[in-house]
A and B are shown apart, each in its own frame.
Chain A
């Protein structure tokens, strides 16, 4: 009985957040803010993927931006060079990125802990080098201009187009997909698979000793996390309309880790909060690009020392404390 108010409160919070997100295009009058929100939602998909492997399984992967790049370039090249419809190429991207991540995950999951992180980082560097160097395919640093946008959908005679930046329709598209990604994570977290992943995080040798094929679960989480990153990459490329390797370097993978840690590793709302923080913080603080790296690094260190569980669990604890004080819950 005592847990019931908390459950309703959580549901209520999700509902409020959803309504708030749906109303965003009508109260954000400046197109630039809508642009930032679209980017933050794309980041949410990326961070939910990062959270799957980092938060659930406890393996820090530093390849998330690399997989984002794989997805972005796959979808762009399939639509530009093969002439396939953009909707089709976006839909295929998670599958392709997942396939690539199996090749990557197979050898790297043989090592544990820190070494896994280092190996994935090496992969990110390899992906980045290939994107930079294979000029005939990727255009190198000069990039690919005029990445096509998804074609307009005809909805009962109303054409819904996705042209241009700060487009509200594109906002609803990424909002829907970010919500889908979050829901998928919720379903995994509350399933047998999710409990197994958490067991691996808490004590991998113990999980192995009770007969869990640990390796298969780790690969599952890794591949799914890469698929999310690929989808985020495709959405990013078709939104921005221009593609070069710059956003897919190691620094960006570190930012994805920061988003998860800051928001709350292993929680569902954490990556959402973290993504918005990482995208909006430099705008809010008005920090120059040259100070961004040092500021983010500092936040990462300080957050890990003083706020190791992240913003969302801290907020949750505060709410629980307040409820207990008010006598709504006795043992929250």
Chain B
């Protein structure tokens, strides 16, 4: 029993990161209708950047992460401007194929710039607390808190600010928003910036929690989408629930079956949900 609780706790940390990835994906999808598959690879780029800044300049983890997030936001602006905007009026399949091409490019760039070896970001949060026989690692708690704060800040931005209002308007009805004087191109840029910054944060957290390596980006993107499929598109509570389910089932699989098959189990959960509730657990029918 104690071990089950332990695994659930382990799964929550990774699930929080998956939710962060999924949030970045869902805002882009909501505004631009693009399945931004390169998001996972951008996240990995962020993880590498965080690592590089820490190594090179000896800055603390969170400062490095913030710098990487700014760089990531700029990369997001570039991606939106150069790759996605030219196919804005083309069929959606074109944007998706561009996303696949971008994935290859970013993965290739990561490989060239940072090598093929896996990288683990060393953080000073190494303490382990013992709470009633359960080992609670400080790092996991910090990851969960960071991810939840970023999710909260993003939700506030979208709910409370004027730009957030414009973002929601474009998501609901693009043409009506244009008629009301919303600058859709600026909104697209803002959304890509926010989304990429969130992705970079997720990459840094993954780098601290597990490791970053070539190929992780693609699997991260798939998991982000799996979270959306689990939770239902466009629902933030759904994304949180989906992230928790995916993270916990992965941790359970790693703990009780085999860590080699943890991705397989996670995807089987997603496929099971698709079979039973294709609209997602909290999605609208």
Question: A250-B218, A290-B111 known; A118 and B225 CB under 8 Å?
Answer: yes
**CB < 8 Å neighbour of A125 from B109, B225, B263:** B263
B96 to chain A, nearest CB (A): 6
Q: Does B83 contact A (CB under 8 A)?
A: yes
Q: Does A17 contact B (CB under 8 A)?
A: no
User: Chain B: which residue is nearest A296 at the CB level?
Assistant: B104
A70 to chain B, nearest CB (A): 15
Question: A107-B274, A294-B105 known; A301 and B264 CB under 8 Å?
Answer: no
**CB < 8 Å neighbour of B101 from A60, A123, A301:** A301
Interface of A is mostly: helix
Q: Does B278 contact A (CB under 8 A)?
A: yes
- 1/0 contact string of A245-277 vs chain B (CB within 8 Å): 000011100100110010000000000000000
- 1/0 contact string of A75-99 vs chain B (CB within 8 Å): 0000000000000000000000000
User: Chain A: which residue is nearest B274 at the CB level?
Assistant: A107
- 1/0 contact string of A45-83 vs chain B (CB within 8 Å): 000000000000010101000000000000000000000
- Give the docked Cα–Cα distance between A100 and B63 (Å): 49
Interface of B is mostly: helix
A297-B101 in contact (CB<8A): yes
A298-B101 in contact (CB<8A): yes
A291-B225 in contact (CB<8A): no
**CB < 8 Å neighbour of B83 from A110, A251, A301:** A301
7 contacts between A and B (CB under 8 A): A107-B274, A115-B225, A250-B218, A294-B105, A296-B101, A300-B97, A301-B101
Residues of A within 8 A of B (CB): 58, 60, 62, 107-108, 110-111, 113-115, 117-119, 121-123, 125-126, 129-130, 132-133, 249-251, 254, 257-258, 261, 290-301, 304-305, 308
Residues of B within 8 A of A (CB): 29, 35, 37, 83, 86-87, 90-94, 96-98, 100-109, 111-112, 215, 218-219, 221-222, 225-226, 229, 258, 260-261, 263-264, 267-268, 270-271, 274-275, 278
